[in-house]
Structure 1
Amino acid sequence: MESVKAGNLRMWPAIVHAKCPRCRAGKIFTNPAYGFKGQKILKECPHCGLVYEREPGYFYAAMYVGYAFIVAELVTLAVGTYILTGSENPWVYLCIMLTVVALLAPLNFRYSRVLLLHWLTPGLRYHPELSGNNGKSGG
């Protein structure tokens, strides 16, 4: 993995690894995407102290992002299934789509919230000065 100096952290690795949008160093979730303990969002960034839930019910907006993910997945699966199998049997499509959407549900949950924080929250920007070790505790 590319080493990055403190204060110059890139956005895409921060999104992929579910890091804080303000410092890009602290984690957003307590557990991995696929685990038996479920996915819990931390109350605040362990590195810079950003409160993730900006207001009560803030993450309800992530449902719209998750909906867009599922629509894109279903359209891609339908077209891909048709190209690969040529089948017109609706049960083939239904089984493939339900299986893949169920397998991707934890990732949809996680990344709908991460994208909501990184891209769709007005006024929430990256602050390079918070990326170093001068925050709270390392995250």
Structure 2
Amino acid sequence: MGIFGKDSVIKSVLSFTCPRCHGGPLFKKGSLLRPGSLFKMHSHCPHCAQSFEPEPGFYFGAMFISYAINTALFIAAWVGLTILYPDYTLTMLLGLLTAVVILALPLTYRLSRSIWLAIFVRFDPRAAQKSGSEQY
């Protein structure tokens, strides 16, 4: 069991799997060669048929989660730059922050959507048992 056990919400969020059954993937396989494919989600879980977009505009709230993640990244990058290179310029700081945001965009997008969906969809052990017997 534990914090990263089979029924852990944290494990489901970090592995980008369905919050209801913890079996089906939230996102389609993406490729760095086609960056647009990194943002494609399944419409529903292939294991338990949970809808990943319960209503139109559902993920509007994920924008606030993404904002919080990006703020934490900004602060970490700023502290890191201050420790490693105390005589930084404003141009260096803006360049670093821009690079961090662009490089972390696929991760923050997926993570914010995964967190937002996990807030509203609870784990269902029956759905997990059903999905454990199926292959996708």
- Report the TM-score when normalising by structure 2: 0.85
SS in 2 for 1:23: coil
Asked if the contact 2:48–2:130 (Cα under 8 Å) also holds between the matched residues in 1, the reply is no
Change (3 A) 1:113 1:125: same
Distance 1:33 1:70 in 2: 23
Give SS of 1:67's match: helix
Does residue 11 of structure 1 match 2:15?
no
- Residue 127 in structure 1 maps to residue 124 in structure 2: yes
Question: Displacement, 1:117?
Answer: 0.9
In structure 1, the residue matched to 2:23 is: 25
Q: Which has the higher contact order (CA 8 A, sep 6+)?
A: 1
Is the CA contact (8 Å cut-off) linking 1:70 and 1:101 kept in structure 2? yes
37-46 or 105-114: bigger deviation: 37-46
Deviation at 1:20, TM superposition (A): 0.3
Residue deviations 1:85-139 (CA, integer Å, cap 9, x gap)? 10241111111111111100000110000000113x2xx2101121124579534
1:39 to 1:9, Cα distance in 2 relative to 1, 3 A: same
Distance (whole Å) between structure 1 residues aligned to residue 27 and residue 33 of structure 2: 12
**C-alpha distance in structure 2 between counterparts of 1:58 and 1:135, whole Å:** 28
Which residue identity lines up with residue 124 of structure 2 in the other structure?
H
Other structure's SS at 2:82 match: helix
More helix by proportion, 1 or 2? 2
Q: Which runs of 5+ in 2 are unaligned?
A: none
Which TM-score applies when normalising by structure 1?
Answer: 0.83
**Secondary structure of residue in 1 paired with 2:38:** coil
Query: What is the number of equivalent residue pairs in this alignment?
Result: 131
Match of 2:45 in 1: 45
Which stretches in structure 1 are left out of the alignment for 5+ residues? none
Question: Percent same amino acid at aligned positions?
Answer: 28
Contact 1:46 1:137 in 2 (8 A): no
